[in-house]
Structure 1
Amino acid sequence: MSEVSAPPALSVAEVCQRIVAAPLFNRLIIGLILLNGVAVGLETSAWVIERFEGLLQGINRLILTAFVVEALVKMAAHGNRPWRYFASGWNCFDFAIIALSLIPAAGPLATLARLVRVLRVLRLVSAFPELRLLVDTLLRSLPSMFHIALLMGIIFYIYAVAGYFLFHEIDPTHWRNLPIALLSLFRIVTFEDWTDIMYTAMEVMPWAWVYFVSFVVMGAFVMINLFIGVVLNNLEEAKLRRLDELQMPPSQTEILRELRATQEALARLQKRMQDAPVPSTDRTPGGAAQ
């Protein structure tokens, strides 16, 4: 049988692609993000800082180094086009946090450096596909939410002006001018002791409950349901888009990777067939097996 040819050597880009695609790599990054969150939380304790400040600083440097290496590996996975790393918005988000983490933790920027350490915990969003889907849904919902917020602003303005004319003499604390009236309506729509404002007005105007109840129904129940409806609608659309992406035909790189894996499997099988002993059979001169 012919000799088995050695499988072709993998390029740096292909090695980096395998590292990035490995589940262990993603779990390691998630573990470092969680470790960073724990370390940042411990820095809020004066007792811990007094005894373990050096250890926490070492952990911070280790995590920062790991994040820099992660970004470099992901860039190298794109081969001769490392700038394609920035084609993903989540990669840009991760890179921005890593770049901000390079701010020195001493001098006038020390407070900013500590805040950036907290922001690293946000990388959990980019590490989990389900969280990325939710954030993408919220971002895609912003245009529709803007129109709902505009409608809500109109309702707030109408009710604030009406509340000023109706109640500014009865309850000047909550209705003495338009900005204060808007703040009072915000308090009502969040259900923060809004009945106190209503009962104060009802002491002089017994029918004032109509104003407050109608605003609660319009400003709270209807608007909140509109926001929820928009988010759920965009979530369903995002799930459908993700299913379409999963059903897309494989790229040329994926096909070549599968072909290379198949060649390696065939080479291993051929080598096993060569190494396997050939069974020998002894036969009698008459042709019958012994």
Structure 2
Amino acid sequence: MQAKVNALVHNQWFERFIISVIVLSGILIGIETSRSLSQGQLHWIETIHAIILGIFVIEVILKLYACAPDVKKYFKDGWNVFDFSIVVVALIPFTGQFAVIGRLLRLLRVARLISVLPELRLIVTTLIKTIPSMFHVVVLMLVLFYIYAVAGFNLFHESNPQYWGDLGTSMLTLFRIVTLESWTQIMYIDLAVHDWAWIFYVSFIVIGTFIIINLFIALVLNNLDEVKEQKKALERTQNTEAHILNNIVLIRKQLQEIEKDMHQKQ
């Protein structure tokens, strides 16, 4: 029985069914934001939400049963912990003034798409792995922002106080510039007073946008390659283990047949 349940929860059609349920949950959450669509249908929407939650609970129970008696095996997988947490939170009743919180927490069900789609899991794993590597790049960017913010304040705070009036405003202005959001509009204000102002702006964009931002991208791509290699190595290990287990099963069967033949001869 346990083997059948294990085969079921790892079946491709079962996974597709869960994905469909998650998508349906997301669609219902979107419908609830439209008064014209949800008006008069709230009872049915709540009923479907309850059915969807029931399906998620059954899924968790089946996966726990498939791992029994070593239930810890289920919780060793971070994505299983993520799914389990979402289901547990969804079971908490939120009524009255806390009903809004309950509706907001339903959005977590849509986040389950990340855990059931391998491609999304790969991307999220890469981003999480990239966080420690990004620390030094972030420090470098903060130093760059601070230097240019102080320089911008000293150079342009009199002629352009709207964008360079103090250190905080200067930092926000630099963030706007590094995202290339209407940065020429700010630059032309200062160019009207200082002919050399373009050097300040262009140098910051070259260093801040074209170099440092590309460093972030390079880190993510590098970690993505590493995660892919680790995934392939894990799959090879699992395939090897499965092959060994199959061979052990075959050897056992052959030994049992040999034992039967020996008993029959005796």
1:68–1:260 distance in 2 versus 1, CA, 3 Å: farther
1:175 to 159, 164, 176: 164
**What displacement does 1:111 show?**
1.0
Provide the C-alpha distance between the structure 1 equivalents of 2:54 and 2:249, rounded to a whole number of angstroms. Answer: 33
1:114 aligns with 2:103: yes
1:211 matches 2:200: yes
> Which residue matches 2:175?
186
Q: Report which of the two structures shows the higher radius of gyration computed on alpha carbons.
A: 1
Instruction: Name the count of aligned residue pairs.
Output: 253
Residue in 2 aligned with 1:139? 128
- Cα RMSD (Å) of the superposition? 2.1
Q: Quote the sequence identity (%).
A: 43
Indicate the residue corresponding to 2:14 in structure 1. Answer: 25
Relative to structure 1, the CA distance from residue 257 to residue 49 in structure 2 (aligned partners, 3 Å threshold; closer, same or farther) is farther
Amino acid at match of 2:11: A
Cα 1:261–1:99, aligned 2, differ >3 Å: closer, same or farther? farther
Which of structure 1's runs of 4+ aligned residues deviate more than 6 A? 251-254, 257-264
Change over 3 Å in CA distance of 1:18–1:39 after alignment to 2: same
- Give, in angstroms, the shift of residue 83 of structure 1: 2.5
Match of 2:118 in 1: 129
TM-score, normalised relative to structure 2: 0.89
Following superposition, the deviation at residue 49 of structure 1 comes to 2.4
- C-alpha distance in structure 2 between counterparts of 1:88 and 1:144, whole Å: 23
Question: 2:210 corresponds to which residue?
Answer: 221
Equivalents in 1 of 2:81, 2:209: separation in Å?
Answer: 37
CA contact (8 A) 1:103 1:109 kept: no
Task: Give the residue type in structure 2 aligned to 1:158.
Answer: I
Q: Closer, same or farther in 2 for the Cα pair 1:126/1:194, shift >3 Å? A: same
The one-character-per-residue Cα deviations of 1:211-231 (angstroms, maximum 9, x if unpaired) are: 000001111111121111101
Deviation at residue 106 of structure 1 after TM alignment: 2.1
The structure in which a higher percent of residues are helix is 2
Task: Name the SS of the counterpart of 1:247 in structure 2.
Answer: helix
Cα deviation 1:1-41 (Å, max 9, x = unaligned): xxxxxxxxxxx432221111211111110110011011111
Give the Cα separation in 2 of the matches to 1:33 and 1:249: 28
1:246 equivalenced with 2:225 (yes/no): no
Matched, 1:235 2:224: yes
Structure 1 residues 96 and 258 mapped into 2: Cα distance closer, same or farther (>3 Å)? Answer: farther
User: Which piece of structure 1 moves more, 28-37 or 185-194?
Assistant: 185-194
**What secondary structure, in the 3-state scheme, does the structure 1 residue paired with 2:33 have?**
coil
SS of residue paired to 1:192: coil
Other-structure match for 1:276:
none
Number of the residue aligned with 2:84: 95
Does residue 202 of structure 2 align to residue 201 of structure 1? no
Q: CA separation in 1, counterparts of 2:42 and 2:250?
A: 48
Question: Counterparts of 1:258 and 1:56 in 2: how far apart (Å)?
Answer: 51
Aligned partner of 2:67 among 74, 78, 100: 78
Q: How many Å separate the matches in 2 of 1:257 and 1:26?
A: 25
Q: Which residue of 2 aligns with 1:3?
A: none
Q: Which has the higher contact order (CA 8 A, sep 6+)?
A: 1
Q: 1:42 aligns with which of 22, 31, 48?
A: 31
Aligned partners of 2:247 and 2:70: how far apart in 1? 22
Give the letter for the 1:90 counterpart: W
Could you tell me which amino acid in structure 2 is paired with residue 236 of structure 1? Answer: D
Greater displacement, 111-120 / 178-187: 111-120
Distance 1:225 1:100, change over 3 A: same
